[in-house]
Structure 1
């Protein structure tokens, strides 16, 4: 059963890109078998501006929180747990820059004490819409959301080709043999796998768009589970990759078939991604984009 965040914990939870499913957190891109992804121009970072101390006299906080994908010129797909349970007045932005963390660092130096200017310097503001059925039961948490952006500022700032969505029931139609033979790729801005140091386990990195190969593990409604195990040549997702894309090459086409939601805590084994070819996902997306 998904555990929703309270407003008081929203900033911390979203900073980790966390949704709990049977007490297992969501995740981001590993260091092993992963490479930078400057060519994946449709993949972006969700940037949030919010009040993290309930004191109107102090500046709001601005940071990148999750990952996502442009579906057309103005629609950014992400996870509902990335856009929900924020303090009142939270503002959502999208950046398609390759290195969002460096852009934020430079903007903070240029606009000290002005969070709105920092956010505007790195990203375009939009309106978040999440599935009204979120958080649903474990059988389908409806963990899907979009951020609707003004098309002109996005086009003026970045050049990209929107992702291609799958047809209804595509993953089911491939069958076990087809899924096992399918090449999967995960992308996002998240941190690396758990690393042990003097202070205990940490997840370094984050804020740079990366990609990694995955292989098929299991399929059900609403999940596709993808193996991240290094010996098989896989990489995978980790904290901050929530909402980010899982692509599949099917019939020579590079398709956005699922979004990262959860996985194992250390980010070594399995990426659990929300399918986009199911009736529930397509029903949510239909008002915002043209479905294949």
Structure 2
């Protein structure tokens, strides 16, 4: 796993994914002390797994349109295999849709020492999401410090298991126009949860506000999320849909 130092933050941080060329290594992701996503709930309907051709779940993404998924840039910047998107709460029950194409943000440099890391990617599905799975809207508002967000991702938990969708709630500790930092002691995202959503409640619905970028070494501290709406013009231009 490749570590990346963040000079703008007080502690060294790690990208939350196994990265490299060709097929990715097995994910060590975990939503620490999270809860299994409700069967058929909004989180399951819109949170998806990025899966390599050898069946390994290596990142997470969010369905933002029936034909498009948003994830992290570092998940796909060095990916060299065939990409599949897994729909379901567990790898044992996934429905798979092959990716037709994907693009990493042109602003992503692979370095988190820049003012705008642009750690975001978008995936086009070869066919629409399976019946029962619904995209979520991108949240275009702002959140205040202390606001509660729901994080979701696939992978191992502290109690074991892998390839299952868990979620948890955390609070916003700081934000810029392009990134959101979250933290809650004892819970949060970790290695391999990269690209997974941070959801905010807007009215009576959940909307995606962030895509997991990186977190403190050891997964006991803050996590940084790319603000999806900051990249809305690029996403609209690449997908050709209004979002």
* 1:98 partnered with 2:84: no
Instruction: Please state which structure has a larger fraction of its residues in helix.
Output: 1
* 1:147 partnered with 2:95: no
Structure 1 ranges of 4+ moved more than 4 A? 1-6
Aligned residues: 221
* 1:282 partnered with 2:235: no
Mark the CA change 1:62 to 1:190 in structure 2 (over 3 Å): closer, same or farther: closer
CA distance in 1, matches of 2:78, 2:166: 27
CA distance in 1, matches of 2:182, 2:84: 29
Structure 1-normalised TM-score? 0.68
Greater C-alpha radius of gyration: 1
Find the partner of 1:213 among 169, 172, 180.
169
CA distance in 1, matches of 2:134, 2:19: 34
Instruction: Please state which structure has a larger fraction of its residues in strand.
Output: 2
Mark the CA change 1:93 to 1:218 in structure 2 (over 3 Å): closer, same or farther: same
Q: Please list, as runs of the form range in 1=range in 2, the aligned pairs for 1:152-191 lying within 5 A after superposition.
A: 152=128, 154-155=129-130, 158-167=131-140, 170-171=141-142, 174=143, 178-180=144-146, 182-191=147-156
CA distance in 2, matches of 1:213, 1:94: 25
Structure 2-normalised TM-score? 0.80
CA distance in 1, matches of 2:103, 2:38: 27
* 1:36 partnered with 2:37: yes
Segments of 5+ residues of structure 2 without an aligned counterpart are 6-14
CA deviation profile, 1:171-221 (whole Å, cap 9, x unmatched): 2xx4xxx442x321001103335x9xxxxxxxx433101110111111124
CA distance in 2, matches of 1:148, 1:276: 16
Deviation at 1:6?
5.0
Aligned to 2:157: 192
Aligned to 1:114: none
2:170 aligned counterpart, secondary structure? strand
* 1:272 partnered with 2:237: no
CA distance in 2, matches of 1:33, 1:48: 25
- Alpha-carbon contact 1:228-1:236 (below 8 Å) kept: yes
* 1:239 partnered with 2:241: no
Task: Tell me how large the CA RMSD over aligned residues is.
Answer: 2.6
CA distance in 1, matches of 2:85, 2:123: 8
- Alpha-carbon contact 2:34-2:166 (below 8 Å) kept: no
- Alpha-carbon contact 1:228-1:271 (below 8 Å) kept: no
Aligned to 2:24: 11
